[in-house]
Amino acid sequence: MSPMWGNLIGVATVLTMAVFIGIWIWAWRKRHKKVFDRMAALPMEDELGAPAQENDKRGTQDE
């Protein structure tokens, strides 16, 4: 392998790390907190009877 591969892999590593840090900073910005809190609460808002009704529909078949 040529020494150029080492430089190319180093640049790719630095770019990947910069993208990761950029996403991390974007996700932790204050203006995203309200949206992320709302998305985190979505599973708790399911109707209590919805899964049972769905199972009943699948379980009833004409025999």
Q: pLDDT digit string (tens) for 5-63?
A: 889 999 999 999 999 999 999 988 888 888 889 999 988 887 665 555 555 556 555 54
Q: What is the pTM of this model?
A: 0.53
What phi, psi does 49 have (nearest 5°)?
-85, -5
* Exposure on the CB side of residue 62, measured as CA atoms within 13 A: 0
Distance from C-alpha of 36 to C-alpha of 59, rounded to nearest angstrom: 36
Question: What is the per-residue pLDDT for 61?
Answer: 57
Q: How far is CA 1 from CA 6, 14, 28, 55, in A?
A: 9, 21, 41, 59
> Is the model more confident about 1 or about 17?
17
